[in-house]
Structure 1
Amino acid sequence: MEKDDIDECINIAICIDDNYCQHINPMVYSIEKNTREKVRIHIVYYKLKAESLENIIKLNELLTNVELKLCRVREYQYDWLSKFKENSLPTEAYFRLLLPELLPDVKRILYLDVDMLILDSLGKLYRTDLGNNILGVVRDFPFTNDKNSWSYFFLGEFGNRYFNSGMLLMDLVAMRKNNIVRRFMEFILKTSQHYFLGDQDAFNIFFFYNVKILEDKYNYIAENQKILQKTNLEVVVMHYCGYSNPKPWLIYNDGSEYVQPAIRLYREYQRKINKLISNNPKVLLVVQENRYNLNQVIESIDYQNYGNYEVAFIPLKENSNAEILKKDYPQITIIKSRNDLERMVGSADYLYYMKNTSYFSEWDAISRLVDSAIEKAADYIIVSHRVFSMKHGNYQVQHESKKLIDISDRALEDLIIEKPVIFTQNEGFLVKKEILRKSNSSISQDMPDATMHLHIFNNAERKYLYDRLLWIKVDFEN
């Protein structure tokens, strides 16, 4: 292919709504860190809230060799795509169909799903010679590896050619020349009732004779590692998709030893870029080891999107798993003495206590609590929670108003009578370090008991209940 047929700058497209916008930071940051050439990322959207746009602006200010450009889908284009209602995919999933029209001055585009991490330079991929083909793609290994899978049912004997549409290297010049946008959309309207995987199936049928199959490393599906029983981080594009749903912003209950390292790597990128963007105060999570549910407790901390936190881990006196955890979760500091805890408290702005078998139920729980504390200049915020009974196998769920309720003029004793499930817990509250110092001049290595919680509560001046179910307590007894 002639050099003039490919843009000098690497052009990438990602398609988002508000839900996906909150997950773009790690992928964009990984491109910045691992691609040495100039990159322009076209962010395709229809409507975004102010906070989403603000995040994009902040992210763009931090980047040096990556530029973010907003590209809005027009009303008539959105109306076209809204006709595809035969499956559960949001309309935004089809935005990539419009790229030849949305980016008229771009010759070639690398479309990427948001749930990806870029681990090496994209230059070689972007300049791949496609020959007479319109798309460069990678086989969808979990399907093509299994002759009883959807791909073989869908494509018959050619099931091994079924590709994953999360990465598409697209020749936009050829697509415009052949009026692909109109033809493809008409094709989907006629056939979408037969699809299992939405426009991915449409891409496979429509472009069947016009794709170049590329190496797996350019769209390496995280779940491959479980199938192959090996961890491979020596890839260019890691894609966090698959039936076990290994999204790094969800608790990964599958627990595959082969997939987990890739998920932890994503979360490292997430913490680094979010720390750079937000410059938020440091939160020290004080966690008491228990004999039950420990992996889920630590996993729920690891998937937090908050960029500036540390974990002070108080181990059991006997048969502790602390050293094993430390290997997998380097942000954990094992507390061996009062001095260890004092030192960590000294560098923190807020503390949050977790004990027994509690775990966060939302990936942005810490972010929400800190944002609320900053907004209200609060010294103390306690949060609602759910209780899961192991004995009965169900949740005890109270109503949540999702409001910040000022309890500054209330007595803890009265609140305990009104809301015993919340206020009898000596955990689940975020407190400023200064209030802790006032409450207990000698920071104990033990977790807060009822007396210490009362001192903390009474010494705080601005106190709030965040009435949102952000954490879960597992009850092994009742």
Structure 2
Amino acid sequence: MILHLEALVHSLDKNTDTPIDLYIIYASLTAESISRVKFINDKLEAVTLILRPIPKESRQFIENINMDKARLPIGTYFRIIVPEVLTDLERVIYLDTDMVVNASLTPLWQTPLEGNFIGACEDRLVFYHRRVNAESVLFGKQGERYFNAGMMLMDLKLMRQYSTSFYSAQLALDTADVIKYADQDVQNLYFYGANKQIDLTYNYGLEYVQYTDRPLSEVAIIHYYGWKKPWMNMVTETFMHPSRRPAMHLYRQYHNEMKAILGDNPDVISVILAADQAQSGEFERCFEGFLTQTYTNLELLIVTAKGLTSDLQTYLKTIKPYYPNIKVVTGTMAQAVK
């Protein structure tokens, strides 16, 4: 969890216009993970990391939920007990860890909920059902208001007043055999008609990137939900539509910048790649192998005697903004080594 938290933390720290308290709620963490969180916190400027363990009495809400059909870890149900874990807070923005924040969240924070328990954005399933003119299998026509629970603006005071954690957990116990997306289905059932729809910019999934024309620079939160994650190889591990790749590269950029701030990989490793005989597709497969490495301080030197093909030039132009340590050396292999 801590590893995939780093890109989110850095993106928040880089793009906020106000100090942020970021609460990390957890059931258990190793001493090494706790030490890592403290180390990261010391490197941040505007964000303060606060570890908050889940009390035993709060864990009891979710411990008996049957997860056999959910295909998700029990930790996803942490979302429904946030009001009982953060009892000293009245309002929070909940974020999944597979996100990056690309703009200030102040407008989101100031959004009035108008008496609703939560504010959330529509899920990709709504978008998909709209495209194919279909209804939700579980929710029918009510699926038009189905939201993604990866980002929620939560009125914790109101939720505690109505004991939503208890009733949501009871609903989860009663519906475990029919729900597919664990607590997200449960929260859509429980908060139906009691949630405010938030603009999609605050929970922008990759499906929207592929089928809409909103530039990433106008998106506040990019959410990498689904099983295609930015730490996966986009060529050999999973098919990735070309339109989604800038979002994946942006995640890696935040991740690599954080690694540099933390000083995890202090020594530069230089890799020389011969380009004269390569096709752009081959180079893309080659590059992906390096760009998904956990050692991030790589200098990629592309050596060419004849100049790069137009396809390779185009490819490099698209990725160089995200990976500044890519350099072209015109000359021989010996010159590149020198």
Q: TM-score, normalised to structure 1's length?
A: 0.63
Which residue identity is paired with 1:336?
T
Query: 1:201 corresponds to which residue?
Result: 185
Q: Structure 1: any 5+ residue segments left out of the alignment?
A: 1-19, 343-442, 444-478
8 Å contact kept, 1:110–1:168: yes
Aligned length: 322
TM alignment of 1:198-277, pairs within 5 A: 198-228=182-212, 231-242=215-226, 245-253=227-235, 254-277=239-262
Query: 2:126 corresponds to which residue?
Result: 143
Task: Note closer, same or farther for the CA distance 1:305–1:269 as it changes in structure 2 (3 Å cut).
Answer: farther
Which residue identity is paired with 2:30?
K
> 2 CA distance for matches of 1:252 and 1:51?
30
Match of 2:47 among 54, 63, 66: 66
TM alignment of 1:183-202, pairs within 5 A: 183-202=167-186
Match of 1:329 among 319, 322, 328: 319
Query: 2:164 corresponds to which residue?
Result: 180
Deviation per CA, 1:216-247, whole angstroms, max 9, x where unpaired? Answer: 111111221212266433111111124xx441
Query: Per the alignment, in what secondary structure is the counterpart of residue 289 of structure 2?
Result: helix
Q: Does 1:156 pair with 2:140?
A: yes
Task: Note closer, same or farther for the CA distance 1:340–1:132 as it changes in structure 2 (3 Å cut).
Answer: farther
Q: TM-score, normalised to structure 2's length?
A: 0.88
Task: Note closer, same or farther for the CA distance 1:300–1:158 as it changes in structure 2 (3 Å cut).
Answer: same
8 Å contact kept, 2:58–2:84: no
> 1 CA distance for matches of 2:47 and 2:41?
8
Which residue identity is paired with 2:253?
E
> 1 CA distance for matches of 2:317 and 2:263?
28
Q: Does 1:311 pair with 2:311?
A: no
Match of 1:293 among 272, 278, 282: 282
Query: 1:40 corresponds to which residue?
Result: 21
8 Å contact kept, 1:313–1:333: yes
> 1 CA distance for matches of 2:133 and 2:153?
25
> 2 CA distance for matches of 1:120 and 1:151?
33
Query: Per the alignment, in what secondary structure is the counterpart of residue 104 of structure 2?
Result: coil
Query: 1:82 corresponds to which residue?
Result: 63
Instruction: Measure how far apart 1:316 and its partner are.
Output: 7.6
8 Å contact kept, 1:231–1:261: no
Which residue identity is paired with 2:242?
E
Instruction: Measure how far apart 1:142 and its partner are.
Output: 4.5
8 Å contact kept, 1:142–1:224: no
> 2 CA distance for matches of 1:174 and 1:246?
35
8 Å contact kept, 1:271–1:306: no
Greater RCO (CA < 8 Å, at least 6 residues apart) = 2
> 2 CA distance for matches of 1:181 and 1:75?
14
Query: 1:349 corresponds to which residue?
Result: none
Deviation per CA, 1:418-452, whole angstroms, max 9, x where unpaired? Answer: xxxxxxxxxxxxxxxxxxxxxxxxx5xxxxxxxxx
Task: Note closer, same or farther for the CA distance 1:309–1:169 as it changes in structure 2 (3 Å cut).
Answer: same
Query: Per the alignment, in what secondary structure is the counterpart of residue 67 of structure 1?
Result: strand
Instruction: Measure how far apart 1:141 and its partner are.
Output: 3.4
Which residue identity is paired with 2:258?
I
Instruction: Measure how far apart 1:135 and its partner are.
Output: 0.5
> 2 CA distance for matches of 1:122 and 1:186?
32
Task: Note closer, same or farther for the CA distance 1:177–1:77 as it changes in structure 2 (3 Å cut).
Answer: closer
Query: Per the alignment, in what secondary structure is the counterpart of residue 153 of structure 1?
Result: coil
Deviation per CA, 1:71-110, whole angstroms, max 9, x where unpaired? Answer: 1123454354232223221121111211111111100011
> 2 CA distance for matches of 1:306 and 1:250?
14
8 Å contact kept, 1:286–1:314: yes
> 2 CA distance for matches of 1:225 and 1:151?
22
> 2 CA distance for matches of 1:165 and 1:303?
28
8 Å contact kept, 2:93–2:154: yes
> 2 CA distance for matches of 1:80 and 1:189?
10
Match of 2:90 among 107, 115, 125: 107
Instruction: Measure how far apart 1:189 and its partner are.
Output: 0.3
> 2 CA distance for matches of 1:149 and 1:240?
25
> 2 CA distance for matches of 1:328 and 1:298?
13
Query: Per the alignment, in what secondary structure is the counterpart of residue 333 of structure 1?
Result: strand
Query: Per the alignment, in what secondary structure is the counterpart of residue 243 of structure 2?
Result: coil
Query: Per the alignment, in what secondary structure is the counterpart of residue 223 of structure 1?
Result: helix
> 1 CA distance for matches of 2:335 and 2:297?
19
8 Å contact kept, 1:184–1:206: yes
Match of 2:336 among 334, 341, 344: 341
Aligned alpha-carbon RMSD (Å):
2.2
> 2 CA distance for matches of 1:284 and 1:270?
19
